A and B are shown apart, each in its own frame.
Chain A
């Protein structure tokens, strides 16, 4: 790990982010969504499910999408060639980009939560839940970014990530049987577990999210091994 290289990547990607319309519009989505829900709520407090929908949208549309788009662009435009002198420098690139993604996510999430009221999030479990969720989506984004060769491909990969993991709370509005299989499976998904942890301050739910993070880390590791042997 080389601090100078990480900061070089960080500075470059922040500059590049500011000039990239595709990335720049992403953090606006959750903010707009928060505004709409806030209006619809007529000043009443929003149900927890809707709040976590916004959280899910932020993490999937900002964290995962920014990460994979940035990595796919480097792949597509062949800018990675010539930068990677050793496997160590590759991690510098990923860390630098993760810092950029983290910063953008934080801004976007903070603004949207301010709009709908940040008070419900001021407890330990909720904050740990959010951090774990961020890691989960970040690792997922890195993993997909590693093997997608073009920006166009990332839009396709982003869809399942968004609908499965980002929009999970929507499942209740689909009119499915409460005790059914689908709901039972959906309730083990990270966003739903975060809602649970938030609701009754349970540490076991946090543990399950942590398991999801480990899973995402494994997924990223497999993707990394695969791309490393491909070359």
Chain B
């Protein structure tokens, strides 16, 4: 199959900008946006492009077993992959004889994945596929994406969570009122030729300033969970709340290094003290789980895994 050209130039929407995008069949494309924008985008895709968006709002046959459901959809969509292989691919083989109404939400979600996988729709567009899913389910989804790219099916994933966009996509875009922009993913840190001007200030620095409306709030470095870059601005994240900073990520990275902060991704600096878990996804991608109330996960670059293992003396 060939790359799919997505053209949303003819739409009249208040907030959705017009753009065109080629969804390649050799890698996964993700679009990150806020939820309002996402709603508009999905609407535009369904109405203007009359495309199917997999949003898991359609029903499954709750009285039937997992196997019966999958067998039905497989036959209906005329899928060539053997039934047993599908069950294993989505880690459903142990639940094959369980009726759907007795399955957990994660198993049901994997049945959805299987259904979408077998549907053979071109191109495949997923909306929030792994939102709230557990690690096992996310892994089956990543495996499925791998299979789809092997079959040269163009795949687009629409998410409202930057971490998910970076985890799932080989190429991630950010959709804003201004238009569609690619988020640079990999980390050839070539622009770190910093001019060391504020060395004196660094030594006396104990607090990190952030602006909320007109006030300036000063944070203790240890209470910060992580810092992420949003549109060139660094944002301090503490328990899911973001506070804007005036400096860029590269500037703040230098200052926070001595407090045990680490640049784990092009757009993230993490407080190593707060890392609870290093998650290894399939296809060699990694995330860090932060020890806060909402258990946020942030991406960890492939090239930084060595470094981080050394830091935690794992090697």
A81 part of interface (Cβ distance < 8 Å): yes
Residue contact B59 to A78, C-beta cutoff 8 Å: yes
- Out of A5, A20, A74, A81, name the residue touching B76 (CB < 8 Å): A5
In the bound complex, residues from chain B placing their C-beta under 8 Å from that of A74 are 59
Given contacts A12-B64, A15-B68, A19-B63, contact A82 B75 (CB under 8 A): no
Report B-chain residues with C-beta under 8 Å of the C-beta of A82.
52, 58, 115, 119
Asked whether, in the complex, the Cβ of B75 is within 8 Å of the Cβ of A19, the reply is no
Kindly state the separation between the CA atoms of A82 and B118 in the bound complex, as whole angstroms: 12
How many Cβ-Cβ contacts under 8 Å join chain A to chain B? 45
C-alpha spacing A19/B65, complex, angstroms: 11
Most buried by B among A7, A11, A20, A82: A82
Other-chain contact of A77, B59, B68, B76 (Cβ < 8 Å):
B59
Additional pairs, 17, CB under 8 Å, beyond known A11-B71, A77-B59? A4-B78, A8-B72, A8-B76, A9-B72, A11-B72, A12-B68, A15-B64, A16-B61, A16-B63, A16-B64, A20-B63, A78-B59, A79-B59, A79-B60, A81-B58, A82-B58, A83-B76
Bitwise interface map of B from 67 to 98 toward A, beta carbon under 8 Å scored 1, else 0: 01001100110100000000000000000000
Is B62 in contact with chain A by the CB < 8 A criterion?
yes
Question: Is A78 within 8 A of B63, CB to CB?
Answer: no
B47 CB to closest chain A CB (Å) equals 12
Q: Is the CB of A12 within 8 A of B59?
A: no
Residue of A nearest to B72 (CB): A12
- Whether, in the assembled complex, B293 has its beta carbon less than 8 Å from a beta carbon of chain A, the answer is no
Q: How far apart sit A17 and B57, CA to CA, in the bound complex (Å)?
A: 24
The interface size of chain B toward A, counting residues with CB under 8 Å, comes to 18
A123 to B151, CA, bound (A): 59
6 A-B pairs with least C-beta separation = A8-B75, A77-B59, A79-B59, A78-B59, A12-B72, A81-B58
Contacts of B99 in A (CB 8 A): 19
Return B70 CB to nearest CB of chain A, in Å.
11
Bound-state CA distance A20–B59 (Å) is 17
21 contacts between A and B (CB under 8 A): A5-B75, A7-B75, A8-B72, A11-B75, A12-B61, A12-B68, A12-B72, A15-B64, A15-B68, A16-B61, A16-B64, A19-B63, A19-B64, A74-B59, A77-B62, A78-B57, A79-B60, A81-B57, A81-B58, A82-B115, A83-B76
Residue of A nearest to B74 (CB): A8
Determine how close the nearest CB of chain B comes to the CB of A78; give it in whole angstroms: 4
Which B residues touch A20, using CB under 8 A? 63
The proximity string for A residues 79-122 relative to B, scoring 1 for CB distances below 8 Å and 0 otherwise, is 10111000000000000000000000000000000000000000
A22 to chain B, nearest CB (A): 11
For residue B100, give the distance in angstroms from its CB to the closest CB of chain A.
11
Nearest Cβ in chain B — how far from A161, in angstroms? 25
In the docked arrangement, what's the CA distance between A5 and B78, Å?
Answer: 8
Question: Which residues of chain A come closer than 8 Å to B60, judged between CB atoms?
Answer: 79
User: A residues within 8 A CB of B115?
Assistant: 82
CB distance B61 to A79 under 8 Å?
Answer: yes
Q: How far is the CA of A205 from the CA of B84 in the complex (A)?
A: 55
A-chain residues with CB within 8 Å of residue B68 when the two chains form the complex: 12, 15
**Chain A positions 157 through 180: 1 when the CB is less than 8 Å from some CB of chain B, otherwise 0:** 000000000000000000000000
Contacting residues, chain B, for A15 (C-beta < 8 A): 64, 68
CB within 8 Å of A: which B263-315 residues: none
In the assembled complex, the CB of A228 is this many whole angstroms from the nearest CB of chain B, namely 15
B228 CB, nearest partner CB in chain A, Å: 36
A16 partner residues in chain B, CB cutoff 8 A: 61, 63-64
Q: Which residues of B contact A79 (CB under 8 A)?
A: 58-61
In the bound complex, residues from chain A placing their C-beta under 8 Å from that of B71 are 11
Rounded to whole angstroms, the CA-CA distance of A19 and B62 in the bound complex is: 10
Which residues, 1 to 55 on A, are CB-close (under 8 Å) to B? 4-5, 7-9, 11-12, 15-16, 19-20
